[in-house]
Structure 1
Amino acid sequence: MAFLKSLRLFWTFHLLVFIVADGIGGPRAHTLCQHLDDSTHIEVVRPNEADYEALRTENWAQTAWQMPTCIVRPRNTEHLQKVIPKLVASNVSFTVRSGGHCPHAGAGNLNNGILIDMSYFNHFTYDERRAVVEIGTGLRWGEVYAQLDKYQVTVVGGRVADVGVGGLTLGGGLSWLSDLYGLVADNVLNFEVVLANGAVINANLEHHPDLFWALKGGATNFGIVTKIRLKTFPIHQVWGGFRFHPISDLPLLMDAMFEYQSRSINDPYANMMIMASPTNDTVGVIVTLIYLQPKIQPDVFEPFYRVNSILDTTQLQTLTEFIISNPLPNSTTRFDWASTTLKPNKLLYQDLANISVRSTSIEQIHSVTAGTLLFGFQPICSSAVRAGHARGGNALGLESVDQTWVVIDAVWWWSDDDDTVHSAVQSVVTEIYDRSTERDLSLPFLFMNDANWDQDVIASYGRSSVEKLRSVQKIYDPSQIFQRLKSGYFKLP
């Protein structure tokens, strides 16, 4: 109660002096950068300094590159406790970057404001007796897996090694282990959070359980998460890899995925994904298969074995080796993505196969320089949702049914084509949503980690979840600093 009373007093004072934010940076941002540089021991990188260019373009996709007024690089929680209240007092726009994997402009970077770079938050401590690891949110998942390999254990973490710990976790986070243990956020035991008033709190099932729940899918609307504690699991050797197919095989592969999802006995050690690219003239479909035990060609994937592949890289390997084999596009390219969710259905899957090769949006994207369109189909078993409920629940409002999370990716070269490509991505997502709605198979949920900047993600969680998130915000960020001063997307509606 003493904590909440002091928090109310702090915000009562700041609400009295609150003024309009400093536009997109303006002179107050320059003044604050200078002040932080002169009066603290915190690293501040400004545009005239050698490291600035490399740091401002650290984000994975070129579409996210921006021109911050300065880049602040705190080394510990105490540094953040100094920086955040100064941002609030100066009313300066800011953002926070963990791995910088989200490709949208203003996500993990910004123009004319302060970028807080979390890369020094690389804390790693493994408690082998308790099978618990504590990691800094500036780490990337590949670094986490490599450290845990020494103990032949892993965590429910990102599927791509380069993705940052912080952003993925706060968006929910999809893992190859999710059918077994739920989403990444569901497996967090504790969040260390710095609030807008500089207070540091630990949110878990016993302390601040309301904030603990909200951070599992509620993004950066409440504070800056500096560390997370996760349970580890004894999974090390797996079987998996990629099977490559021509685009003409897509209808057969969609049938195989429906058969895989319709099996009478769920095997949570199995996971897979189909990625189709109608704009690729050589390999049009990549099927990712993984089995979380060292079992060669498990029977659960038999529907896919019946479709002959051009190339098959499946083999016994460590989970880390499997994850780092997932390639990323060159970071000099521009990137856009969006998501939608639907229930598995054989006829609908054939509709999706048809849309994937015949949508008018394909030619729209193919017409721009290096324009590439990809359709990702990600089966989510109801066991993943139930595992989340068993671990204290999350903010996502997921229905406990088998479902498929669809992601549409687009890649291109030039900024002049941004609007053309974005319009095409919107169109194809709408086309898929309309078809699934016609068949009464659409689900409202939007997966934040795959969502577009103009999709109303948190509203898709449902009214009760949104109301609960707002009530948590009123307690921990009543002046809505992270809603208003922090740039980026996926705010509370």
Structure 2
Amino acid sequence: MLSLAITAAVLLGGRAPLVTAEPSPAVQPRFVPRDAPSTNATNPGGRACNALIAAGLSDRVLLPTSPDYEAHVAYTRDLNLRLRPSCFLVPQSAAELSVGLTTLLGVQLGGWDIAVRSGGHGGIPGMSGTASGVTIDLSALNTTTYNAATNVASIGSGRRWRDVYAELGKHGVGVAGGRAGDVGVGGFLLGGGISYYAGRVGMGCDTIVNYEVVLANGSVVNANASSHSDLFRALKGGGGNFGIVTRFDMRAIEGADVWYDRRLMAPDQSDAVADMLVKFSDQNQTWGDDHAFAFWTHDPSTPGWLTGGVHVNTRGHPDTGSAWAEVEGLPVVANTTGLMPMAVAAGGEMGDEGGKIGFGLSYTFKNDARIVRFCAAEQEALVSAVSEAMDPSLFYSLIVLQPLPAYFGALGQAAGGNVLGMEDTVRENALILAGGIEIDPKASDAAIEAAAAAVKAMSDRIDRFVAQVGGDVAFRYMNYASEEQNPLGSYGEANVRLMKEVAARYDPEGVFQTRVPGGFKISEAA
């Protein structure tokens, strides 16, 4: 019971599956037509698959007839993201990936493309999969090692965070990774990465000391502060525009156990939750060991809607003096509290909540209680509207608001710099909203369309209100952005110019701009 409502953190792990719509343009439901073909055996990408086999990679190629093919299709969370490629390439090393990539790029163009997938948590169709070509699945690049002498954790791009935390916990350390265990390492870190440790270290990418990267020409390089330093910086938030990262070397953080407090509360506590979040956001620099976010949700097992939040102290202290204390004495519907390993706090079984149809919205705005309360009221209105279109047991709705403090930009610069540009665009404490709906496919098409219209109306109203109170913030977090948004462009002119220069230097043929269409492209950033 309440299984969905009290796992709001799943939305926060990295590439939020619900978040797929710009505030202003129409919100489009991300669902596969019910009569969509179940196979694509005649896809021109078959030529590419044959070339991979001829190159000696037959043991790494999964065709639609392969026993493991369906499991790799289902590896992706949402029904509408489960694209069926002509084949999967599942390399087990950077060297194998190099051979595979150069082989694919030598195959005649026409009617097929390449996708790259780490955890498959991306919320945009085609972000990490293709129905007309080859999906490079990095799931076999899944090692995690820790060097105590250097305090560096080396993590394969295809690893999931729950497994990373479990392994590093054996050494008494953690890393600034995803807050939902089923999220993949690669996409999360390439988009910046907000972790439970963010108050201490900033974005996850700011803790990376080295990237192992396969470039478009097949060469394998290590990008760090002293070698390929331009690429090193561009990868800190620049996405998959420069190559395929196979390993991330990250500064480890002492302490594997955290104090975790998750509270689900009745609607009459909504204002108290909103006020707590705003105060906590303003205190975040003082209480850097703490992390908190708030949510408003409808769960299929519960009528109406509920509010709540999650608080984590990354040093394992239950009482820290932060604004979270203001909600600790409020009545709860459900509560999970205690000292636990990060692997447990992150949790998150993707399969528990997969197989749905989803669409949603994302914003960044100033840390303003008026906006938070307005968004909470809009969530209530959304639940009411969608409940009129379908049985409430057929959908799950959620908005999550989390701090984006102004000092994160300075933390990034202190760590050597990134391309996120928050030192210029987030000069006041801000909040990130991510949210939307997941619908059981048993709902009718008419009901799904009505839900899409309700989300669009909600999005428009929030957009107008934020503008009315002067609350908009330019920065867009890539891991929550919709395909209509321009997160790379929001990083600022200087960072866009740097990323374009780096892309041209390391990928002069534009392979990762054209042959790999998924993800946000620096060539399209304004």
Given the two structures, how large is their TM-score scaled by the length of structure 1?
0.89
Task: Judge conservation of contact 2:239–2:520 (CA < 8 Å) in 1.
Answer: yes
Unaligned runs of 5+ in 2: 1-39
SS in 1 for 2:292: strand
* 2:66 is the counterpart of 1:46: no
- Pick closer, same or farther for the CA change 1:421–1:463 going to 2, 3 Å: farther
- In structure 2, what residue type is equivalent to 1:388? G
In structure 2, the partner of 1:31 is 47
1:4-153 matched pairs, under 5 angstroms = 28-42=44-58, 43-90=60-107, 91=109, 92-153=112-173
1:328 to partner: Cα distance? 7.1
Aligned residues: 469
Aligned-pair distance for 1:391? 0.8
C-alpha displacement at 1:113, in angstroms?
Answer: 0.5
Alpha carbons 2:285, 2:407 under 8 Å: kept: no
Match of 1:181 among 201, 208, 227: 201
Q: Percent identity?
A: 27
Q: Which amino acid aligns with 2:381?
A: R
Match of residue 335 from structure 1:
358
Q: CA deviation at 1:351?
A: 2.0
Matched, 1:396 2:420: yes
- Residues of 1 paired with 2:451 and 2:87: CA distance? 30
Query: In the alignment, does 2:504 pair up with 1:474?
Result: yes
Quote how far apart the aligned CAs of 1:55 are.
1.0
Match of 1:212 among 232, 250, 253: 232
Closer, same or farther in 2 for the Cα pair 1:327/1:25, shift >3 Å? closer
| 1:315 aligned onto 2:331 | no
C-alpha contact (below 8 Å) 1:156/1:178 kept by paired residues = yes
Partner of residue 465, structure 1 = 495
1:67 deviates by 1.3
Q: Structure 2: how far apart are the matches of 1:53 and 1:303?
A: 48
Structure 1 residue 487, shift from structure 2 partner = 2.8
Match of residue 395 from structure 2: 371
The 3 A distance-change label for structure 1 pair 328 and 26 is: closer
Deviations 1:394-433 (A, max 9, x none): 1112124321011013101239466555554444334323
2:514 matched to 1:484? yes
Give the C-alpha shift of residue 39 in structure 1.
Answer: 3.3
1:167 counterpart = 2:187:
yes
Kindly tell me: are residues 241 and 305 of structure 1, through their superposed partners in 2, closer, same or farther at Cα, counting changes over 3 Å? closer
In structure 2, the partner of 1:228 is 248
2:317: which partner in 1? 295
Decide whether aligned partners of structure 1 residues 426 and 180 sit closer, same or farther in structure 2, where only a CA change above 3 A counts: farther
Give the deviation of 1:383 after TM superposition: 3.2
Distance (whole Å) between structure 1 residues aligned to residue 477 and residue 285 of structure 2: 26
Q: Residue deviations 1:281-330, cap 9 Å, x none?
A: 26612311111122223321222224322222121222222111688752
> Deviations for 1:61-97, whole angstroms, at most 9, x for unmatched residues?
2221011011111111111111112222223411011
Change (3 A) 1:25 1:48: closer
Inter-partner Cα distance in structure 1 for 2:330 and 2:502: 50
8 Å Cα contact 1:98-1:165 kept in structure 2:
yes
Tell me the distance in 1 between the aligned counterparts of 2:284 and 2:188: 32
Matched residues in 1 for 2:400 and 2:284: separation?
24
| Bigger mean CA deviation after superposition, 348-357 or 63-72 | 348-357
Q: 2:486 aligns with which of 456, 460, 464?
A: 456
Q: Alignment partner for residue 380 of structure 2, among 349, 353, 357?
A: 357
AA partner of residue 275 (structure 1):
F
Supply the RMSD in Å over aligned alpha carbons.
Answer: 2.4
Match of 1:262 in 2: 282
SS at match of 2:359: strand
| One-letter amino acid matched to 2:389 | S
2:447 is the alignment partner of 1:409: no
Shift of 1:436: 1.6
Aligned partners of 2:389 and 2:450 also within 8 Å? no
User: SS where residue 350 of structure 1 aligns?
Assistant: helix
1:165 Cα deviation after fit: 0.4
- Distance in 1 (CA, whole Å) between partners of 2:250 and 2:45 is 36
- TM-superposed CA distance for 1:157, in Å, is 0.6
Distance 1:111 1:366, change over 3 A: farther
Equivalent-residue separation in structure 1 for 2:338 and 2:172 (angstroms): 18
Mapped contact 2:43–2:132 kept (Cα < 8 A): no
Per-residue CA deviations over 1:417-476 (Å, capped at 9, x if unaligned) read: 665555544443343232122111110111111122222221222222222211111111
Whichever residue aligns with residue 310 of structure 2, its letter is T
C-alpha separation between the residues in 1 aligned to 2:136 and 2:520? 18
Q: Is the 8 A contact 1:243 1:309 kept in 2?
A: yes
Q: Which has the higher contact order (CA 8 A, sep 6+)?
A: 2
Q: Are 1:366 and 1:372, in contact at CA under 8 Å, matched by a contact in 2?
A: no
